[in-house]
Amino acid sequence: MIRGDNGHWYDTAVFREEALKYRANGYYCDHPKGTLEYNNYWDEQLRRCKEGYMYDGQKITGHHYFYLNFCNINMIDVLENNDGAGTVKESNFPDFWDWDYEYFWWLDIARFGVIGKYAQARELLTDEEISLIENREYTEEELLSLKKDVVYNRLKLRLRTHDEWLDGGHHMIIAKSRRKGFSYKNTALCVNTYNTVRNSQCLIGVIDKKYSDEDMRMIGTYLDVINDNTAWGKRREVKDRSDWKRASYIEMNAEGKTVEKGYKSEIRTVSFQDNPEAANGKSPYYMLFEEAGIFNNLKKSWDATVPALKAGKYVVGQAIIFGTGGVISDNNGEFSDMFYDPMTYNMMPFQNVWDEGCSGDWCGFFFSATYNLEGFYDRQGNSDMEGSLDWLNKERKRLLENARTIEAYNGFVIQFPICPKESFKTSGRNIFNIPSLETQLSKVRAEKLMLKKGTCVKLEYTDDGKKVKAKPILSGNANPILEYRPKNSSLVGCPIIYEYPVNDPPFGLYKIGYDPYAQEHATTDSLSAIFVYKGILRGNSTRNIIVAEYVGRPETADQSDEIALKLAILYNTAVMFENNVNHTQAYFSRKHQLNRLCLQPDRVISKNIKGSKVARKFGCHLDGKMKTAGEEYLKEYLMSVIDYDENGDEVTAVDYIYSIGLLEELIKYYRDGNFDRVCALFQIMFQLQDEELEHEFTTNRTNNRIEELRKLELFKRA
C-alpha cells in the first residue's frame, strides 16, 4: 500500500523512479540506443508524461510525472537540516509534495473535467462506469455523485470546489507563499506540453521582464536536458532565442525551396507592460500570467486574452494566473479582486478554508506557507502543517518582539502567508491599521454584530412632509447590502441604523458622507454609499461613531439621492458628497433642499492643494491630493481613542464599526480601486477637518487680536 485511506502517503518513490535512477547512474535507460527495449522504454515514459502514471490504484498527472523525473530545480536537503542549521541550495530533482499532487490534479480537472475524453482522472473509472457514461445511462445526479467520488474518495483531494465546476473548461488563479517552486512547476508544464503536444503554443505573460528572463533560462535548461538525455530531442533551428523556443527545422524540398518542418510546438514570452492586448492573434495551449500581483492592467489583459483561449463555446486554452506574497504592488488590487471572485472570470473556485470566517465563500487556489515548508514534511512529501504553523507563529512573535520596525514583521507575513488575506497585503505603506480591522471584522462576523447592532429600516416622510421617520422592516423582506462583494440578487439595498438620532438633534451634531454612483443604470460594480457620523453632545454617552449607513444601487440615481436627503432630515444635518457626479446637486435643487448640502470645504482644499482653482459651491471633489488627504484623515480617525472599557483599556473608532462591508473595504483598500464606502467616509473626514481648521483660524485670529491689544496697552503706559 502506497497511500492510506486518510490520504497519507507511505511510498511516493514509485512516482520518482526515473529521477532516482538518473541520480544514481547518470542516465535514464539501461538499453542501447536503437534497440526495441530502448524504444519501448521511451515510448512508455512519453505516455506517462502525457497521460499520467498510476501505481497501486494511485495516480499522478502527466505534468506532475514530468516535473518529478525530468526537471532539475534548486533545493536543499530539508530532512537533514531541520534543526535550522546552515545549508546550501543544490540542483536536484524535486521531492514529491502532497500539495503539488493537489495542485497538478486541480489544474487538470479545471481544464478537462473529471470524466471527459481528455481527463486524466478517467483512468480511475471502471470499465462498467465508462460504459454507462458513454451510453448515457447515468442520471445527472448519479453522474455528479460519480465525479465527486473520483475527486474526493479515489483521488482523495482535500480542497473542495463547486459541484457544477467538475466538467472542465476552466482556468486557474493561484495565490501562494514564497519558495513553493511555482516557477519550476509551471515552466515544467510548458516544457512538457512543448514535448508532447504537436503545434502547441505556451505563452508566459509578464509585466517585468526579469521574471520571463529567468523562466526562459530554466526552460532552455530543461530543453537541453531532454535533448541530451532522452529520445525526445527536438531541433530548434528557426526560433531559439532567449524569449522564444520553437521545435522546428529547415529542410529543402524537391523543388529546391526551404520548408519549415518538425513538431512546431513553441514556448515564448509576451510583455503586457502598457499593452493588455499582447496575446491577440495567438492561440495559447497554456497562458501563464507570472507574478500577477504587479500587473497594473491585469483585468484589461485578461479581458483581451480570453478570446484567444476560446473557440465558440469551447475553451481550447487554459490560463494560469499566479502571484507571490511580497510581490504585490501597493496599488494593485486587481489580483485580489479576481482571486476572491473566481467564478466571474471562469477560474476554478475553491471553498475558502483559509481566511477566518470565510468558510462559505469561494476563492482561487491558495498554496499556504504551511504547505511543504522546508523542515516540515517527511520523506514521502506529507506536510506537517501543525508543526509548520507553530514554527511560523513563533517566528512572527520573535519578529514582532525584536524587529526595529513593523515593516520587518509585515514583510515576513506577506512573503510567507498562512491565509490569502495575508498574501494580498502590500509590502509598502499600509494606509490603515489592518490587524485592528481584521480583528474587528472577525468579531463582527462571529458575534453577528451587524445584525444585532443594526436595524434595517424604511425611511418615510411624516404626514406633514417636514420630517422623516425610520420604520423598522420586520417582515423579513429587508435586503441590506452587507458585504463588500454582495451576493444579493437585487442591489437596491436598504438603510441600516445602528443608533437612532437623539431628540431634536442640534444641526451639525451628525455628519453625512455620500459617494453616489456615477450614472443611472450603472453597469459597473459601483454602488451608492451613505454613512452618518455622530459627533460629541454634552451628556450623551456615545460620540465620534458611525450611526447609520445605506449601500446599494437603486434603479435610478434620484432614488439614491432621496435616501441621502431623508437621512439628512432625520438626523438634522447636511450632506457632503462627491461632486464629480452632478446629479446629486441637481436633485436637491429640484427638491428645494440645497440647504441640506454641505458647502465646499475650502479650508481643507486649500491646505492640501496649493493654489487650487476648484470652485464648486457644494460638495467636494475626490481625486489626486484630496484622496491622499482623505486617506490620512481617515487613518487618524480609525485609531483615535473614543472610549475606555471596564478594564481601562482604550477603545478606538474601529471597535465601534459594525459594518462588514466597510471593514472589508478598509482592509482591501488601494488607491485606484472601487471602494464606495471608504470614499463616503472621506467626505465625513473633510467636514471634520474643515471644522478643525475653522477653529484654528478663529483661535489664531482671536489670539492675534489679544496680542495687538496687549502691545497697545503697553505702549500707552510707556
123-145, pLDDT tens digit by residue? 999 999 999 999 999 999 999 99
Q: What's the CA gap between 456 and 243, in Å, rounded?
A: 58
- Rounded to the nearest 10 degrees, the angle between the axes of helix 385-402 and helix 406-415 is 160
Are 461 and 562 in contact by the 8 Å Cβ rule? The answer is no
- State the amino acid at position 468 in one-letter form: V
Q: What is the pLDDT of residue 586?
A: 94
Q: DSSP for 691-713, please give it.
A: HHHHHHHHHHHHHHHHHHHHHHH
Q: What's the CA gap between 442 and 348, in Å, rounded?
A: 26
| Cα four-point dihedral sign 597, 603, 604, 610 | positive
List of residues 6+ apart from 76 with CB closer than 8 A: 87, 88, 89, 90, 374
Per residue, the 3-state secondary structure of 11-52, as one string, reads: CCHHHCHHHHHHHHHCCCCCCCCCCHHHHHHHHHHHHHHHHC
Closest by CA position to 662, among listed 543, 582, 564, 550:
550
Instruction: Examine domains 13-386 and 445-699 and report if their fold is the same.
Output: no
Q: What's the CA gap between 616 and 179, in Å, rounded?
A: 53
Give me 345's grid cell. Answer: 472570470
Q: What is the pLDDT of residue 525?
A: 67
For strand 258-261 and strand 249-252, is the pairing parallel, antiparallel, or unpaired?
antiparallel
Q: What's the CA gap between 628 and 47, in Å, rounded?
A: 58
Cα dihedral 607, 613, 619, 625, rounded to 10, equals -50
Over residues 425-447, the pLDDT tens digits come to 754 445 788 889 989 999 999 99
Are 225 and 195 in contact by the 8 Å Cβ rule? The answer is no
Q: What is the phi/psi pair of residue 672, to 5°? A: -95, 5
Mean pLDDT by 10 residues, the chain (718 residues): 95 97 94 95 98 97 98 62 51 93 98 95 96 94 96 97 96 94 94 97 91 90 94 95 95 89 96 92 95 89 94 93 76 83 95 84 95 95 96 91 74 90 67 86 92 94 92 87 86 95 95 85 72 94 95 93 97 95 93 95 90 81 89 94 89 96 89 88 96 72 55 49
Q: What is the pLDDT of residue 539?
A: 87
Break the chain into its structural domains and give their ranges: 13-386, 445-699
Q: What is the pLDDT of residue 465?
A: 86
DSSP tag of 248:
B
Which CATH topology does 445-699 take? Answer: Nucleotidyltransferase; domain 5 (3.30.420)
CATH number of the domain located at residue range(s) 13-386 in this protein: 3.40.50.300
Give me 656's grid cell. Answer: 465601534
Q: What's the CA gap between 117 and 51, in Å, rounded?
A: 12
Q: Max Cα separation, the chain?
A: 121
Give me 658's grid cell. Answer: 459594525
Q: What's the CA gap between 572 and 570, in Å, rounded?
A: 6
Are 194 and 232 in contact by the 8 Å Cβ rule? The answer is no
